[in-house]
Amino acid sequence: MKIIVWFAKRLLDTVDRLTTTPAIVVIVLLSISVKLSYILILGGGLGTFPNEGSDVWFISRATQNILQHGVYGMEADQPTAGAPPGQAVFLAILFTISNNSLVFAKLAHLALLTLVAVLVYLMGRELFSPSVGFGAGVLIAIDPAYAYLSGTFLSEPLYICLMTLAFYSLIRHRSNKNLVWLMIAGLCFGHAGLTRNEGWLFAIVLVFSAMITRGRVIAIRTSLVVLAVTVVVIAPWTYRNFRVTDKFVPVSLNGGLTLWSGNNPEFRYRQPMPMSLPIYATPPGLSGAEVDQYYRQKAIDWITDHPVRFAFNGLVKVAALYNFDPYSSRPEVSGIFRLAGLFPYGIMLPFIFLGLFEQLRNPDLWLILTYIIWTTLLAAVFFGDSRVRTPIQPYLYMLGSAWLVNRLRRVLDIEYNPTSTYQI
């Protein structure tokens, strides 16, 4: 037992003494090794176009249409506002500068998620201690879910990286009041919103949180600056959508479909799939904006008529969001989904919840807790699964690592200082 205690103390002391550069090098090497191994062994290789269902199919078509015709849509003469453009534009940029290299595009997505691991380390170091940051960064670096995402052209790598950089900038602004950090945060929320709607919407959530808590989550003036920059970023796309649809569409028209897919008579623990099912059928001749409104109204009517079922489904969706054993109907990815749920997330899950409750009274963590609550509420209304959880996974690992490190330090303090007043 004494050997274990001695080893644990030496390990924590060594990590805490690590300077930033060697810690980042370790995290980067781990992240690249795990993600590259997945892509080469299970992900089809660097030079293979990923096959990830309808999402990647749409993104691929939209990307090629941008490259060939300069139009965001499924056809050259049919621009769409049906989905956020960020991932397709990002892929188009990657293909343009690399002469359509799939290898370059996959390595770019790998680099985005490796940067996330580094940012998590820096945030954990800033908010807690070097050992907490290092633990959280390593967990993200080796996380199978992030390895899986790095081998796809889904929007998650870009979205997660932008949101993580935004939070890192806001945390840095607390200790360094330079306006540049707020500008970076706003730019990131705006571009994240052009990738997935939740990004720019969270900038609005920050303003409401600041007002409700009287500046405890984030200073009201700070939140307004961030929101202003976010709005400036998405404004050109909003204007483009108005010209395309004659409607005010901030980013995209897929909100109604998403709401209906998670709130309908056939919802059983997850939304009915595929989207070609009769429940998603629409009257002929509707425009994109009319289809969005059609789905939204059907969902609202169903929720109004079935409030108890809606509440029960919400609990199920939240359970699915935090579930450590996710279900996938696709056999080719079911194995990696289960692994991603069990290691290291499933192992860390008890410590994540303990850390979450421990930090509820810590004002320094309220910004991150707001994002976790926001994501949880979105899951309860729309749907939740391991893919929806991936944007908040860095902060969950940080909370779990903080609880483990703090408890371990208390144990070690008692072991080496028997007169300590710490209570375990």
pLDDT of 415: 54
Q: To 10 degrees, the CA torsion angle through 121, 124, 127, 128?
A: -130
pLDDT at 206: 96
The percent of residues in the chain predicted with pLDDT above 70, rounded, is: 93
Average pLDDT of the segment spanning 125-152: 94
CA distance 104 to 229: 31
Q: Average pLDDT in the 3-24 region? A: 81
The amino acid at residue 248 is F
Q: What is the pTM of this model?
A: 0.93
- State the Cα torsion 402-407-410-416 to the nearest 10°: -110
pLDDT at 168 exceeding the cut of 80: yes
Confidence of residue 78 (pLDDT cuts 50, 70, 90): confident
| 424 and 410 Cβ atoms separated by less than 8 Å | yes
pLDDT digits (tens, 9 = 90+) for 318-327: 998 998 876 6
Predicted pLDDT at 267: 93
Which amino acid appears at position 8 of this protein? A
Secondary structure (H, E, C), 200-252: HHHHHHHHHHHHHCCCCCCCHHHHHHHHHHHHHHHHHHHHHHHHHHCCCCCCC
For the chain, what is the total number of helices (H) and then of strands (E)?
Answer: 19, 2
Q: Is the pLDDT of residue 309 over 80?
A: yes
Residue 20 has pLDDT above 80, yes or no: yes
Q: How far is the C-alpha of 222 from the C-alpha of 218, rounded, in Å?
A: 7
CA distances for 39 relative to 93, 109, 276, angstroms: 22, 11, 30
Average pLDDT over residues 193-204: 95
* SS3 letters across 345-406: HHHHHHHHHHHHHHCCCCHHHHHHHHHHHHHHHHHHHCCCCHHHHCCCHHHHHHHHHHHHHH
Cα dihedral angle (146, 151, 155, 158), rounded to 10 degrees?
Answer: 70
User: What are phi and psi for residue 79, nearest 5 degrees?
Assistant: -60, 145
Question: Using only C-alpha atoms, what is the Rg of the chain?
Answer: 22
pLDDT at res. 116: 98
Mean pLDDT score of the chain: 90
- pLDDT value, residue 53: 66
Main-chain dihedrals φ then ψ at residue 46, nearest 5 degrees: -70, -30
At residue 423 the predicted structure's pLDDT band, cuts being 50, 70 and 90, is very low
Q: pLDDT digits over 240-276, tens only? A: 999 999 999 999 998 999 999 999 999 988 889 888 8
Residue 417 pLDDT more than 70?
no
pLDDT score of 355 more than 90: yes
Higher pLDDT, 28 or 330: 28
> Distance between CA atoms of 277 and 274, rounded to whole angstroms?
6
pLDDT of 416 > 80? The answer is no
What pLDDT is recorded for position 166? 98
